[in-house]
Amino acid sequence: VNGSARVLTVVEAIASADAAPVRSELAAATGLAPSTLADIVSDLNELGYVRIVNHRVFAGPALARLTTKMSGLSSLRSQLRAALRDLAEHSGETAQLSVIGHTADGTLPAMFAIDGVESRQSVRCVFRPGDRPRFWPSAPGKVFLALLRIPASRLPKEAVEQPFEPGAVDAELADIRANGYAVSKYMRGMSAIAAPLLNADGRVIAAIAIAGPDERMPDPAAQFWPLLKSTVEQIRLT
Partner 1 sequence: VSSAARVLRILECLADHDQGLTQAQITTAAGLPRSTIQYLLSDLRELDFIELGDRRRYSPGPAAWALIASMERRNGLLAALKPVLERVSASTGETSILSVAHARLDGYPETIHIVDWASGTHAVQLIPTLGPQPLGTDAASQVFLAFDDPERPGPRAADLDQVRARGWAIHRETSEVNLTSIAAPVFDALGHVAAAVTVAGPSTRMRDVQSTIWPALSAALRSVDDV
* Chain contacts with partner 1 (rule: CB under 8 A): 2-8, 11-12, 15-20, 40, 43-44, 46-47, 49, 51, 53-54, 56, 58-59, 61-64, 66-74, 77, 99-102, 104, 110, 112-116, 127, 129-131
Task: Name which of 64 and 222 has its Cβ closer to partner 1.
Answer: 64
Please answer whether residues 95 and 209 qualify as being in contact, where contact means their C-beta atoms are separated by less than 8 angstroms. Answer: yes
Taking the complex as a whole, the smallest distance from the CB of residue 146 to partner 1 amounts, in Å, to 19
| Euclidean distance between CA atoms 152 and 140, whole angstroms | 15
Cα diameter, the chain: 57
Taking the complex as a whole, the smallest distance from the CB of residue 94 to partner 1 amounts, in Å, to 12
Taking the complex as a whole, the smallest distance from the CB of residue 3 to partner 1 amounts, in Å, to 3
| Euclidean distance between CA atoms 225 and 178, whole angstroms | 14
Task: Name which of 57 and 146 has its Cβ closer to partner 1.
Answer: 57
Task: Name which of 101 and 166 has its Cβ closer to partner 1.
Answer: 101
Task: Name which of 31 and 72 has its Cβ closer to partner 1.
Answer: 72
Task: Name which of 104 and 178 has its Cβ closer to partner 1.
Answer: 104
Taking the complex as a whole, the smallest distance from the CB of residue 48 to partner 1 amounts, in Å, to 8
Taking the complex as a whole, the smallest distance from the CB of residue 183 to partner 1 amounts, in Å, to 24
